[in-house]
A and B are shown apart, each in its own frame.
Chain A
Amino acid sequence: MRSDPSDTGGLFVGRRPGTAPVHYRALPERGGEGRQRMDRRLADVMLAGMTLCSISCWGPIPIACLWAGAQINYLSGSVSLGILTSFVGLFALLFGALKIMRSLDEAWILVRRAAGIDQRGGVLGRVFAITAAVCAGAFAIWFVLFNGTGSMVTPGGGV
């Protein structure tokens, strides 16, 4: 929650730290009402894209890398090569996804500002943290209840 920038609570001589307004090089010319509405929708789409990208870091990308590693192992007969392939692929895809998300986050800020919202910071950190928590929870439920050792639902394991 952003508090009134002029209300420093008596702790600071000037403005409360972190509450400085955005400085533009020139005053932006904002579009009409319709354009702003459209930008708001676009920002939501970008946020959804960031969320999907982030979720992929916690499931699809590691699984895909493990699958690729297993294929290499099968074709070459080398376990080490399979593991190496998995790790290299995992790091490349994770960092690639993070870079895409970072770019999306920066663009999302601009689109939100264009939509008439006083957007000062990005949302990437929060998206990453929330998706991590959700995915970790989902994995824990899947692992403990459906597939883990000594499952209560399917005793004897899901193998």
Chain B
Amino acid sequence: MGLLDYYKQFEGVPEEEVNRELREQAAERRRKALARVTTIDLSQTTWPELPHANIVNALTFTARAGLQRYPHLRGSRLRSELTERHNVPEGRLIVGNGAAQLLSAAARALMEPGQELLTSWPSYPLFPIMARRAHGRAVPVGENDTPLVDALLAATPQHNTRVVALASPNDPTGELLSTAELKRLLEGLPDGVGVLLDEALVDFADAQPVDASIELLERHPHLLVFRSFSKAWGLAGLRVGYAIGGPGSEELLAELEPDLGVSELSQSGALEALRSGAKPRERHVQSVCEERVRLTAALRERGFEVTDSQANFLWAAHPRVDGAELATRLERSGVLVAAGAGLGEPRHVRIALRDAAATNRVLAAVDKALA
């Protein structure tokens, strides 16, 4: 190295040049970040956003106030708030560890070994499991084109039916059982057959009032309605659900309650959700309703069979592409959907609904998958 070169190596890069390089590096990072397509998971029916800050604050407050005590066994404050909302007497509403726990407990309380549980199929996968746990048997109904209520009424006397379990809106098809149809079913079923109506997804329905089925309870005491904080309220991790019964159901409902109550944390989170989480819930329910109409129409234009969903997902099948194959192709474009094979119908896929951006991603991925 020459003498001048030796000293020249100590020359600093001018500030303008350093700044220009830093700006170029930042722009490159931004370009890469914008170009990166993250996978969007539309295989789950839970809401993807974090709970409202007030709910987290309520949980923290409860945790700091002391978890050394046992919780309120009958979920007192949460229960009072819910009974007031649904305008039912306090003894006819119970809070449990999610709607699933209450549904299972109801099946166990109602069914004797050997008795049967009728349900539509495909439907909530818990229904056959809870029949088995109650030492009974699940009978799928409505697999052909017969209207569901007619199929159920026809099948009931043919089996040793004790329970009819239905989800409305149904998971995974998203179909809503209208109040008129439910009333027809309740009136047509013989005495001694209980109806367990899982309305975990009813908050997403806009075809009829949300509490329409609860109004039937007064005249149909063999109906039990189950609701959840896991879906529209976005609190699946808290495991809180509740059941409402008609007149005379108090003793049965008391049997369904968790032995040592629902955790104090879960109760406080659910209570805070009722008090301050209504607006975010309304916002994302509205988003789901708008995108449901848009995505249904767009998929039908592309040749899909799509059921009339009232839930936060669509149940769709393409005549040329199998459900599992379609799910794989969509996954290649970064869109995860639930293949129908695991939900009872291999031709279909279940696509959860979110916002306009998610719908655009789905449609772009579908176009690519069918190209």
Q: Which residues of A contact B (CB under 8 A)?
A: 20, 22-26, 28-29, 31, 107, 109-111, 113-114
Contact = CB atoms under 8 A, between A and B. Distances in A.
Contact of A114 (B7, B12, B18): B7
Nearest to B22: A23
Contacts of B70: none
B6 A23 contact: no
A37 to B, nearest CB: 15
9 contacts: A23-B18, A24-B11, A25-B13, A26-B9, A31-B6, A107-B7, A110-B8, A110-B11, A114-B6
- Name the interface size band of chain B: 10 to 19
Contact of A29 (B9, B12, B15): B9
Interface of B: 1, 6-13, 15, 18
B16 to A, nearest CB: 11
A111 to B, nearest CB: 6
Contacts of A107: 7
Contacts of A114: 6-7, 10
A28 B18 contact: no
A14 to B, nearest CB: 11
B13 A23 contact: yes
Nearest to B7: A110
A28 B10 contact: yes
Contacts of B1: 29
Contact of B12 (A22, A31, A111): A22
Question: Of residues B6, B10, B11, which shows the largest number of chain A Cβ atoms within 10 Å of its Cβ?
Answer: B10
Contact of A24 (B6, B7, B13, B15): B13
A111 B9 contact: no
A82 to B, nearest CB: 43
A113 B10 contact: yes
